[in-house]
Every structure is written in C-alpha cells, then in structure tokens.
Structure 1
Amino acid sequence: MSGALSRPGPPCAASAFRFVDHQADPRGSPMNSEQCRVARAMLGWSIKQLSREVRVAQRTISEFEMNGQARPETLSRIRSIFVTNGIEFIEDDDGVGLKRRYTFDEYIFRQQLAPQHAGLSIQN
C-alpha cells in the first residue's frame, strides 16, 4: 500500500461518488489546476516542495496552476505523488473534488478519542 491507511469495509452501495485513484485507474479524469492547488494546500506543501517531490522545475508547477498547461506525463506524476500522500480524487455527477486520507497517527488518535466521546450525552 502507498502509505495511506485504507478504511475497513466495502464502500456504500448507495454512494453516488466514484473514487478515482490514479494508481489503480490510470484512465481516471485528468487533474485540473484548481485540484493541484487544493491538494497542495491540503498537504501543506509549497510549490517548491511539490516540485521537489515530482522532480520538475518550480516554474512547471506554477505555470500549471496558473494556466492549466502541462505535459500529460508531468500531470500523471503530480497526481501520483498526491495519491501516494493520501489525496483521493473524487468525481460524481455534480463535479470533482478531493479528499485527504488520515495518516496512520491521525487514525490512531481518532480511534483513541472515540470511546471517550461515546459516553457523552447532550443535556438541555
């Protein structure tokens, strides 16, 4: 697995979402410049950090985010880096979006908090 923790159980059959994992489905919809900016922000990465991960010039990332123009191979590498780092590309009939998977540490922390919150009740 690529470092992202998968959630147990099958996806909900009633869900209208189609999760597009570039590594699993290379024919997934292409990433647009807005998704690139948002994915970078979700990871807390600068253009410089992303360019190092993808091994392209900072100018390549900047131009893609401003103009939406980049080579298909470059877009594939950028998207693959995002997926490897827990970003999911989501597509449905209403549009496209992103989702960030919890890191292992975040997942464990949330699991430890769950029993504490289970006994709480709201009083009027």
Structure 2
Amino acid sequence: MELIQLVSIHGIGINLKLILNGSMSISGKQCSAARALLGWTSAQLAEAASVGQATVKRFEAGDSVRDTSVGAIRAALEEAGLIFIAAGENTAAGGEGVRRQA
C-alpha cells in the first residue's frame, strides 16, 4: 500500500496519511473485527483516529459517516499493525477481511 506523509501546516507538524491505492473505504464489519484483533474498545479507536466514539459506533453499525472519518479510522488501525483485505481480492480465504501485518 502506498502512503504519502505530509508534514507541517503553518509551522505545526501534522502527520496526514493519504491512501493512494484507489480505495480508502473499509466496512463497519472490518472495523469491528480490527478492533477485536487489537483488543481495543470503541473509545480507544476513537482516540487513536481522532474521531468521536459515536462516529466509530455509527460506522460499525453500518450507518453513514464522513469519508475523512473512515480514512482516519483505517489509518489508525493500519498504524497499529493491521492490513485490510478488500472483497474480491485474491486471497486464500476470499472475501473482505482484516489481518495482522506479517
């Protein structure tokens, strides 16, 4: 997965990761599974992603949330060492999923 890191906006160092591989989207089910793999609560994920806990809960319930919030959630989970597998991606098990980085 290709990432760019942008740093420094008006003298303040900010790490912003943009996923360039065409899809920033993950599903709410993947998010919930990812949290379970890490042993995180929704509050811990919300803090790591700098989004509200209600946003995490809405996303996992299948409700609509902002694309920027989904991107922040995905980035936080990837930063914690997880990899997301898209539906239809060529894997032994098939289907969408999440796993730890090797």
TM-score, reference length from structure 1: 0.58
Which residue of 1 is the match for residue 16 of structure 2?
Answer: none
- Distance in 1, Cα, partners of 2:63 & 2:23: 17
Using the TM superposition, give the Cα deviation of residue 26 of structure 1 relative to its aligned residue in structure 2, in angstroms: 4.4
1:63 maps onto 2:58 in alignment: yes
Q: How does 1:66-85 map to 2 (within 5 A)?
A: 66-85=61-80
Larger Rg: 1
Which residue of 2 is the match for residue 39 of structure 1?
Answer: 34
- Distance in 1, Cα, partners of 2:98 & 2:46: 20
Structure 1, unaligned runs of 5 or more: 1-20, 103-124
Query: What secondary structure is seen at the aligned counterpart in 1 of 2:85?
Result: strand
Which residue of 1 is the match for residue 96 of structure 2?
Answer: 96
Alignment RMSD (CA, Å):
2.0
Query: What secondary structure is seen at the aligned counterpart in 2 of 1:67?
Result: coil
Of Structure 1 and Structure 2, the greater helix share is in: 1
Q: How many residues align?
A: 82
Query: Does the 8 Å contact 1:88/1:101 carry over to 2?
Result: yes
Q: 1:33 to 1:60 in 2, by over 3 A?
A: same
Query: What secondary structure is seen at the aligned counterpart in 2 of 1:88?
Result: strand
Using the TM superposition, give the Cα deviation of residue 90 of structure 1 relative to its aligned residue in structure 2, in angstroms: 1.6
Matched AA of 2:41: S
Which residue of 2 is the match for residue 30 of structure 1?
Answer: 25
- Distance in 2, Cα, partners of 1:51 & 1:39: 13
User: Structure 1, residues 31-86: CA drift from partner, whole Å, max 9, x if none?
Assistant: 00000000011011000100111111111111111124110000001101111111
